[in-house]
Amino acid sequence: MALSLGIDIGGTFTDLVLHDPDGLRSGTLKVLTTHADPVLGILDGTRRLLADRGVPPAAVSRVVHATTLFTNALIERKGAVTALVTTAGFRDILQIGRERRYELYDLQLVPPAPLVPRELRLEVPERVKADGTVLQPLDAAALEAQVAEAVAMGAQSVAVLFLHSDLHPAHEAAAAALIKKRFPQVSVTASHAIVREVREYERGSTASANAYVAPLAERYLARLGAELTGLGIAGPLVLMLSNGGLTHLQEAQRAPVQLLESGPAAGGLAAAFLAGPEEARVLAFDLGGTTAKLCVVEHGEPEVVFGFEAARQARFIEGSGLPIRISTVDLIEIGAGGGSIARRDAIGLLKVGPDSAGSEPGPACYGRGGQAPTVTDANLLLGYLDPARFAGGELPLDRAAAEATVARLAEALGLAPQDVAWGIHDVATEAMAGAARTHLAERGRDAAEFTLVCTGGGGPVHGCHLARKLGIRRLIVPPEAGVASALGMLAAPPRVDRVATLGRRLKEWSAADLDAAFAALEAEAREVLALGGWQDAALAPERLVDARCVGQGAHMPVPLPPTPWPVADAALHGLVAEAFHRAYQARYSRPPPAVPIDLVHARVVLRGRRKATAPTPRLGTAAGTGPERREVRFEAGTMTASVFSRAALPAGFTAAGPALVQEAGSTLVVGPAGRFTVLDSGNILVELG
Amino acid sequence: MALDPVTLELVWTRLISAVDEAAKAIVRTSFSTLSNEANDFACVLTDAAGHSLAQNTGSIPSFIGTLPATVRAVCAAVPPETMRPGDVYITNNPWIGTGHLNDISLVRPVFSGGRIVAFGATTSHVPDIGGRIRSTEARELFEEGFHIPPMRLLRDGAADASLITLLRTNVRTPDQTEGDVWAQVAALALIHDRVCQTLADHRLADLAAVAAEIFGRSEAEMRRRIAALPEGCWRHAMQTDGLEEPFTFQVAVTLRGGGVAVDFAGTSPQQPRALNCVLAYTTAMTAFAIKALLLPELPNNDGIFRAITVTAPEGCILNPRYPAAVGGRAATGHYVPPLIFGALAEVLPEKVRAAPGSPLWIMNLAGTDDRGRTFANVLFFNGGTGAGAAQDGVDAVSWPSNISATPVEIAERTAPVLVHRKALREGSGGAGRQAGGRGHETVVECEAADVAAVFVTERLRFAAPGLFGGEAGALGEVLIDGTPTDTRRQQTLQRGSIVTIRTPGGGGYGRKG
């Protein structure tokens, strides 16, 4: 049987997972990310993993890859020297932006710097009106001269942004073709080829980000593909997209901006995947050192939005980053993790985060010089963490250091240290609960219908308390899943998203024209998938329309009924209007006002079939000797909790809280009202009374 | 029982996230560009006495303290003991609201255990309120649109049909204006639910103890920061474009005993034009400036502002008498923060900024396009901000409001205009050790006949001054077909008319060199 290899490059580690459908030769490996040349780490890890499992490279039928390299290039502003070609008169579009501040009271506010410096923002005579009239033809000679100058100044990549190219892309396409021909060494991104949506700043920002990472992506992906082939791996290299789907090498090189969030997308998929198909509604909860991430996954599909912000200037503040109009797993990220620092604020309240001690120096209890009290310090003092067995015993925790720093904060707040420790845990968890509550409410979802799937070092520690705050009754804690993301990717389906401006009222569209607009996008999407060798038969196209009431500024994606559509105009108008009403009612809990419907963009999502992949259960064999006991603080007060070692628990084992279940990378904290059961899959199910 | 700092944090965060959630709902469903693109709305939760406990995080400075005042005015007009759960009250009176008729404010009592424990309040700039279209030429309030005194909109959840009919009859966009009122009603329901849930989760009977603690702690901290400054009285005056004659703005900021008293005596008298700024708006702008200087990190609440008193002689442009015309109050009120920065420059040289190229500029175009469809479009333009001690000013950005400019592609698809150019104005930021932010130049061609153009502009005659030897920013300019135009009067554009808009630069900071 064919094997799959998943590779996930993160900031610190590169995770590899080898999946054998028969289970016999499956295996995982974690290696350090080799920042100078990430391919080296991948190759080294791949060789070791295959050798370890006795698998010849030729037996690997495909390699699935996710990476944070491109996002990091944006954040650290370490991408290619990029030029931007615009319609004459509009070179400052990226710098002027939306003319808004992301923070109102900060008088010292600094806006994010544009990716393209002013000397590389070029203007070319050309102009097409919104109705398609060509006011001024593209001046090819001027374009060539301008680009030549930019190349002489070191430009390695060029983005082209002409007004109204979402409707009339001919000039942009011609300019891109000319640049490619005359300057073959330069990467070219035409804005309409990345995102065919109205709004020049957002489209330009997306195109520039693509241009900025394209040379890096082209080089890196080509080399990785070649090196894997060189190892003898016969299968293709496929890439994880930000939306949780897969794509092939050519599409990833053409539009790498689609891969910016591939790492987090893989994380969301992994949670759902590990929880198993019987969990229809999952709230994936990952708590790491600096952030908590939450993501809704329904029927195995992570929730997707059609735009996000990359490289935020002020972390967690909306509006401080670069708008990227690309479909992306809808992830809430909150500045509350194990390293988040607790402090007394200006008026004496207890605040936690978003400042983080990170891993260096880390929480005070790491004993590496960290002085500030963190969430991990609090969790230690509450009895949740075993100081001798933290990180599998490799990082003994310094309880005295945690006590000292929390005591200092307690004095500043006028509270007992134990109450402050509980307060830190509670405030951090409330930050996560608040974000989740708002996120779910905005989507008309009821938290009680979800299962919370807890991953990351802190997920199982905070999971039960978070669930209680949200009214969630079921939690799933997968076995320690250090390389879960890499595994989750293997089950992802191929996916292509395409968008185009519609820009007219529903009633102004004939059924034939509207159908044709979607059909054209579908044809484009099918072509992309065909290039990857994904067979047509496996594909299920989905049509959505960005719609609003005429006059509303915001639009929302509305899923449309399956094809074939009625050919009579009135019948199709009725269907679309009905879909809009349904979506509006679900989202805003009231029917839309009696105002005509405006169709903004057509969207097509084309998915291939997902691979049937199941994780290999990992279970203990016996409960071993009776559990230890430990004094643990909960909301209601201090209690004696049973302490179990997860590795020793067999399937079917069940016990009531208060209890702690320890494994190398985390501890599951079950409160007095909870009961946990080890499932056949190796997952632990916690039910809250 | 005194509340501990952990419980307070948990409860207060929940209350703030309740108003933030309501705000998101308004952004998504409102018809007004000003609400959904410019955050020109606010959601507030007050205690049972009408003192602000939580205000949505992104709400623009114009609304600091205005909604709580509206709640108190509604309570004065309608005795709270006659209110019932499911009631919603409404007003757009500029003096007790937000300063002009275009903002409709709603108030809903939050009941718990059979009594009022809080009020939810929202305000939103509706797409149209009747009257003249955003013209500064109005001479009295009566020309500016439909005026709703504090009255009941919903009784036990049922709407007053007469009021709705009257409102619909008096505005140009009945469906959209009414739609935005319902968007606010939905937001208030959301606030009501979230507050009740928070009370239940924390086993609180009401918000009295929480409010007392938040107000007390916030007031103490604000007074502590004020007390850390040298006592004394600092004055500042400046002139602005005005009408036939320039306007004079004058302020005296007195720091004494942990309080700030701000008085605008000496400021020009009110005008028979829609440039008057009611005291509520003046107060909001003053509170914004002082909070941004001294306590920017703390969420807005009544306690912060108890240490600040604002006075202005009745009948001046910063405190006009009813029925003065007030529609363009931002063009006056936006001068207040730089005025206060000027006064406090010697006291807080590291914090203040040189004057910005604001107030906000507006161009309204209305007419009929070639296909016979009527249109009315609003375009916003921003100048650069002033420089600070350690940063240059920001280019072309909204300040102190937060209004996005309309994208060129959207403008051209919704009105018969062709934009030839939109670029930063080189050299428009005031020179200095730190340079002021640049304005931009936008060139718009009119593509229909007989289009009415109404402008709101400032700093065409008086530039944004620099600080500590920094130079002033460039003046703004508005040209029609190359000739400077009178932006205080409605202009008529013809097909092919070219309007050139050059927004002002911000002032520089410190001597250059």
CA A78 to chain centre: 21
Out of A98-112, A605-619, B112-126, B418-432, pick the least confident. Answer: A605-619
Cβ within 8 Å, pair B9-A100: no
Percent of chain A with pLDDT over 70: 97
Cβ within 8 Å, pair A442-B398: no
Q: Nearest by CB to B396, which of A88, A99, A346?
A: A99
Predicted confidence (pLDDT) at residue A611 exceeds the cutoff of 80: no
Q: Is some CB atom of chain A closer than 8 A to the CB atom of B175? A: yes
Q: Is some CB atom of chain B closer than 8 A to the CB atom of A99? A: yes
Cβ neighbours of B395 in A, within 8 Å: 95-96
Please give the single-letter amino acid code of residue B316. Answer: C
**Domain residues for B83?**
5-217
Distance CA B97, CA B106 (A): 10
Q: Is some CB atom of chain A closer than 8 A to the CB atom of B335? A: no
The 10s digit of each residue's pLDDT in A502-534 is 999 999 999 999 999 999 999 999 999 888 888
Predicted confidence (pLDDT) at residue A623 exceeds the cutoff of 60: no
Cβ within 8 Å, pair A415-B297: no
- Work out how many CB contacts closer than 8 A connect A with B: 198
Among residues B217, B289, B238, which one has the least CA distance to residue B260?
Answer: B289
Cβ neighbours of B396 in A, within 8 Å: 96, 99
The whole-number pLDDT of residue A480 equals 67
Q: Nearest by CB to B391, which of A110, A200, A345?
A: A110
Domain spans of chain A? 3-74+219-262, 76-207, 267-336+428-451+463-473+480-490, 340-424, 495-607
In angstroms, the first-to-last Cα distance of chain B is 60
CA dihedral A252, A258, A260, A264 (to 10 degrees): -100
Q: Which of residues 352-391 of B touch A (CB under 8 A)?
A: 352-353, 380, 382, 388, 390-391
Predicted confidence (pLDDT) at residue A636 exceeds the cutoff of 60: yes
> What is the mean predicted confidence (pLDDT) over A224-240?
94
Neighbours of A35 (CB within 10 A): 13
3-state DSSP call for residue A375?
helix
Hey, of A161, A163, A195, A347, which one would you mutate to test binding to chain B, going by the most B CBs within 10 A of its CB? A347
Cβ within 8 Å, pair A430-B388: no
Is B69 in contact with B96 (CB distance < 8 Å)? yes
Q: Nearest by CB to B21, which of A100, A422, A441?
A: A441
The whole-number pLDDT of residue B132 equals 83
Predicted confidence (pLDDT) at residue A211 exceeds the cutoff of 90: yes
Hey, of A87, A94, A103, A107, which one would you mutate to test binding to chain B, going by the most B CBs within 10 A of its CB? A107
Asked which of B217, B247, B277 is the last residue of a domain, the reply is B217
**Residue A308 banded pLDDT, cuts 50, 70, 90:** very high
Put the strands of the sheet holding B151-155 in their side by side order: B52-55, B41-47, B115-125, B103-112, B88-91, B151-155, B158-159
For every residue of A253-303, DSSP letters joined together read HH-GGGGTTHHHHHHHHHHHHHH-TT--EEEEEEE-SS-EEEEEEETTEEP
H helix runs in B106-207, sequence order = 161-169, 174-201
The whole-number pLDDT of residue A564 equals 92
Q: Is some CB atom of chain B closer than 8 A to the CB atom of A551? A: yes
Q: Is some CB atom of chain B closer than 8 A to the CB atom of A349? A: yes
The whole-number pLDDT of residue A622 equals 58
Q: Nearest by CB to B179, which of A98, A348, A595?
A: A595
The whole-number pLDDT of residue A1 equals 55
Cβ neighbours of A96 in B, within 8 Å: 395-396, 405, 422, 424, 440
The 10s digit of each residue's pLDDT in B22-60 is 998 888 777 776 776 677 889 999 999 999 999 998 888
Predicted confidence (pLDDT) at residue B1 exceeds the cutoff of 60: no
> What is the mean predicted confidence (pLDDT) over A332-358?
92
Predicted confidence (pLDDT) at residue A402 exceeds the cutoff of 70: yes
Percent of chain B with pLDDT over 90: 84
Out of A80-94, A479-493, B15-29, B202-216, pick the least confident. Answer: A479-493
The whole-number pLDDT of residue A397 equals 93
The whole-number pLDDT of residue A539 equals 72
Buried b / exposed e along B410-419 (16+ C-beta atoms within 10 A): bbbbebbbbb
Cβ neighbours of B421 in A, within 8 Å: 88-90
Q: Which of residues 16-55 of A touch B (CB under 8 A)?
A: none
The whole-number pLDDT of residue A626 equals 66
> What is the mean predicted confidence (pLDDT) over A213-231?
96
Predicted confidence (pLDDT) at residue B210 exceeds the cutoff of 90: yes
**Residue A471 banded pLDDT, cuts 50, 70, 90:** very high
Please identify which residue in the block is written with the tokens 């909150």.
Answer: A334
Predicted confidence (pLDDT) at residue A550 exceeds the cutoff of 90: no
How far does A66 lie from chain B, in Å, by closest CA? 33
Q: Is B108 within a domain?
A: yes
Predicted confidence (pLDDT) at residue B127 exceeds the cutoff of 90: no
Percent of chain A with pLDDT over 90: 70
Predicted confidence (pLDDT) at residue A361 exceeds the cutoff of 90: no
Q: Nearest by CB to A105, which of B36, B292, B403?
A: B292
Q: Is B206 within a domain?
A: yes
Cβ within 8 Å, pair B9-A111: no
Hey, of B53, B192, B409, which one would you mutate to test binding to chain A, going by the most A CBs within 10 A of its CB? B409
**Residue B283 banded pLDDT, cuts 50, 70, 90:** very high
**Residue A625 banded pLDDT, cuts 50, 70, 90:** low
The whole-number pLDDT of residue A185 equals 96
**Residue A621 banded pLDDT, cuts 50, 70, 90:** low
How far does B15 lie from chain A, in Å, by closest CA? 10
| Residue A279 CA: distances (Å) to CA of A273, A352, A689, B336 | 9, 32, 19, 57
Predicted confidence (pLDDT) at residue B363 exceeds the cutoff of 90: yes
Asked which of B196, B217, B238 is the last residue of a domain, the reply is B217
How far does A199 lie from chain B, in Å, by closest CA? 6
Q: Is some CB atom of chain A closer than 8 A to the CB atom of B159? A: no
ipTM of the complex model: 0.94
**Residue A316 banded pLDDT, cuts 50, 70, 90:** confident
Cβ neighbours of A430 in B, within 8 Å: 10, 13-14
Cβ within 8 Å, pair B413-A130: yes
> What is the mean predicted confidence (pLDDT) over B274-296?
96
How far does B36 lie from chain A, in Å, by closest CA? 6
Out of A263-277, B95-109, B170-184, pick the least confident. Answer: A263-277
> What is the mean predicted confidence (pLDDT) over A67-75?
91
Q: Which of residues 22-61 of B touch A (CB under 8 A)?
A: 24-25, 27-31, 33, 35-37, 58, 60-61
Distance CA A154, CA A183 (A): 12
The whole-number pLDDT of residue A259 equals 96
Q: Is some CB atom of chain A closer than 8 A to the CB atom of B168? A: no
The whole-number pLDDT of residue A411 equals 96
Q: Is some CB atom of chain A closer than 8 A to the CB atom of B86? A: no
**Residue A536 banded pLDDT, cuts 50, 70, 90:** low
> What is the mean predicted confidence (pLDDT) over A150-167?
98
Q: Nearest by CB to B422, which of A90, A104, A423?
A: A90
Predicted confidence (pLDDT) at residue A613 exceeds the cutoff of 70: no
Q: Nearest by CB to B409, which of A107, A199, A415?
A: A199
The 10s digit of each residue's pLDDT in B288-335 is 999 999 999 999 999 999 999 999 999 999 999 999 999 999 999 999
Q: Nearest by CB to A588, which of B29, B397, B408?
A: B29
Dmax of chain B from CA atoms?
Answer: 72
Count of domains for chain B: 2
Name the strand (E) or helix (H) holding B34: helix B33-36
Q: Is some CB atom of chain A closer than 8 A to the CB atom of B422? A: yes
Neighbours of B142 (CB within 10 A): 11
Predicted confidence (pLDDT) at residue A253 exceeds the cutoff of 70: yes
Predicted confidence (pLDDT) at residue A667 exceeds the cutoff of 70: yes
Predicted confidence (pLDDT) at residue B150 exceeds the cutoff of 60: yes
Out of A187-201, A523-537, B4-18, B397-411, pick the least confident. Answer: A523-537
How far does A401 lie from chain B, in Å, by closest CA? 22
Predicted confidence (pLDDT) at residue A684 exceeds the cutoff of 60: yes
Distance CA B159, CA B445 (A): 45
Among residues A686, A628, A630, which one has the least CA distance to residue A653?
Answer: A686
Cβ within 8 Å, pair B407-A200: yes
Q: Which of residues 187-216 of B touch A (CB under 8 A)?
A: 190, 201, 214
| Residue B104 CA: distances (Å) to CA of B59, B178, B182 | 15, 11, 11
Neighbours of A26 (CB within 10 A): 18
Cβ neighbours of A588 in B, within 8 Å: 25, 28-29, 186
Q: Which of residues 599-638 of A touch B (CB under 8 A)?
A: none
The whole-number pLDDT of residue A538 equals 61
Q: Is some CB atom of chain B closer than 8 A to the CB atom of A133? A: no
**Residue B134 banded pLDDT, cuts 50, 70, 90:** low
Residue A126's closest chain B neighbor by CA?
B420
Q: Higher confidence at residue B495 or residue A288?
A: B495
Residue A103's closest chain B neighbor by CA?
B58
User: Given 1.20.1090.10, 3.30.420.40, 3.30.530.20, 3.40.50.1100, which CATH number is that of A3-74+219-262?
Assistant: 3.30.420.40
Cβ within 8 Å, pair A438-B17: yes
**Structure tokens belonging to residue A302:** 């992570």
The whole-number pLDDT of residue A135 equals 97
The whole-number pLDDT of residue A71 equals 92
Asked which of B199, B217, B235 is the last residue of a domain, the reply is B217
Q: Which of residues 60-89 of A touch B (CB under 8 A)?
A: 88-89
